[in-house]
Chains A and B, each alone.
Chain A
Amino acid sequence: MGAHISVPMYRRTISHRYRLTGMKCAGCQGVNFPPKAVCSHCLCGTEFEDVPLSGRGLVYSYTVIAGGGAPPEFSGEARCRGSYTVVLVELEEGPRIVSQLANPPENGIWIGMPVRAVFRKIYEEEKVIRYGFKFTPL
């Protein structure tokens, strides 16, 4: 069962997906990513300012998804590679975000590995390419 996201809904989050635009809470100055209705730091701020994130961070955790475990939107990629890596990255600005890891190093992935965001095809549905970010080793 895949996580279908309609094209209009995807479109609404383009600045976050294409160029990692974060939201800075006007109250506590905490940086939120992905967007939140209420600040995840002070738990009360609802006013935000867009801030560009560097795209640099460290691997906080990771897992490898075997081909059979891939949701339908990633099944083609999983079939081609055999498996793919998903990382939890702690960005320089603080937020922790989940993403795929492009070009995983042949000598293995480690906690604390420096990574940076890259622009990639995430999946294709109804012949519409969904672009977004993945991370790659620095």
Chain B
Amino acid sequence: MMGKGIVSCGYYIPYLRIRREEYMAALGGCAADMEEKAVLDIDEDVITMAVEAARNAAENVDKGRIGALVLASTNFPYQEKYLAGTLVEALGLSGGLLTSHHSGSALAGAEAFLAAMGLLDQTDQEYALAVISDAPSSRSPEGLEHGFGAAACAFVLAGGDAALSFEGVSAQSGEFMGLRFRPPADGIVRDIGVPAYSSMSYIDTVAGAVSGVLEKLGRSPGHYRHLIMPQADLRADQALAKKLGFSEEQLREGTVFRMVGDAGCCTPFLGLCKTLEGTGGDEKTLVCTYGAGSGSIAMSFRSGAPLPAGRTTFSSQLGNKKNISYIQYLKLKKIL
């Protein structure tokens, strides 16, 4: 798994945003610590976002040399259908590439990334494309839904010299039932709503993965320029980062939740894309992911060659937006 990394990245943030004030006015409160969040338009889903992010990432890459495609989301538009085929056609990729789909929890993005690294060993081609696109959704106007946003990102992975070299990974898993789960054919993301229990799951699992990778690489928190947390709960992220010995400054650049919302398995990787635009010299980045239930994967990266400039910058995509009302938001979700 060593000697590989990210040679290019791309991302997509939907044009429509809903501000925290809209929730306050409509519901009298907002459970999410956000300024605003990106939401899908009626003609968007995780596949349309995935295509746009992947086009952005693969713009300067010979598509004929992409030998593997992995796709991750917690909210695919079909519960059963082979979806990589849509991306193969939309991107003009070879029909003979290796593919893999990942879903089921917010850990799907990290699983997809690792799968892409593995598939790179099994293909004769130079590149693997990992596409992580998510828009967690719940029909209930309560709790978790307030933070649910939408975004996609994509990474072109290759062996040899990379803009961001993969250094190592560690994981932690355990049984924590009742946290952020969606029963079959149920449009509502549920949670038993016991903060102390939720916090215990989060701390035990993420801390285990982070400590594992630090120990594996013989590092301490001070070696890292950026720490990118899961970002389903910013206060929990900040508290855990502090407990682990990281500073607020290390967290700052990779935090995207306040502007985009909780984009499920995409959020930490969107944060990684954001930090990549400002990365220079020999800098290290630690990406932590978390899936309730519960599992965590922590990955360490080291920057090297500069990334090729994409079609757009993170700040320009964030700035290209239209704010909508809560009523319009409910219409887009087909609740009204």
Contacts and interface: CB of A to CB of B under 8 A. Distances in A.
Given A15-B89, A77-B43, A103 B15 contact: yes
A106 B323 CA distance: 11
B89 A120 contact: no
B70 to A, nearest CB: 19
A40 to B, nearest CB: 24
Nearest to B14: A103
Nearest to B331: A80
B27 interface: no
Interface stretch (B44-52, B157-165, B191-199, B232-240): B44-52
A77 B42 contact: yes
Contacts of B187: none
Contacts, number: 54
B89 A14 contact: yes
Given A18-B89, A77-B42, A103-B15, A121 B332 contact: no
A19 B91 CA distance: 7
Contact of B90 (A77, A79, A119, A121): A119
Contacts of A14: 89
B35 interface: no
A137 to B, nearest CB: 9
A103 B52 CA distance: 15
Contacts of B15: 102-103, 136
Interface in A86-121: 100, 102-103, 106, 118-121
Given A77-B43, A106-B322, 7 more contacts: A15-B92, A19-B89, A77-B42, A119-B90, A121-B48, A131-B86, A134-B43
A122 B92 contact: no
A35 B78 CA distance: 30
B41 interface: yes
A52 interface: yes
Contact of A121 (B43, B91, B92): B43
A27 interface: no
A120 B44 contact: yes
Interface of B: 15, 41-45, 47-48, 51-52, 55, 77-78, 86, 89-92, 322, 331-332, 334
A100 B42 CA distance: 13
A120 B92 contact: no
Contacts of A120: 43-44, 48
A76 interface: yes
B42 A76 contact: yes
Interface residues of A, number: 23
Nearest to B42: A80
A119 B51 contact: yes
A76 to B, nearest CB: 7
A12 interface: no
A81 B77 CA distance: 21
A19 B48 contact: no
B322 A103 contact: yes
Given A102-B41, A131-B47, A119 B89 contact: no
A28 interface: no
A122 B47 CA distance: 13
A103 B44 CA distance: 11
The 6 residue pairs across chains A and B that have the minimum distance between CB atoms: A119-B51, A18-B90, A120-B43, A121-B43, A103-B15, A18-B89
Given A131-B47, A131-B90, A119 B42 contact: no
Most chain B CB neighbours (cut-off 10 Å) among A103, A119, A136: A119
Contact of B48 (A81, A103, A131): A131
Contacts of B89: 14-15, 18-19
B86 to A, nearest CB: 7
Contacts of A122: 43
Contacts of A102: 15, 41, 43
A119 B48 CA distance: 6
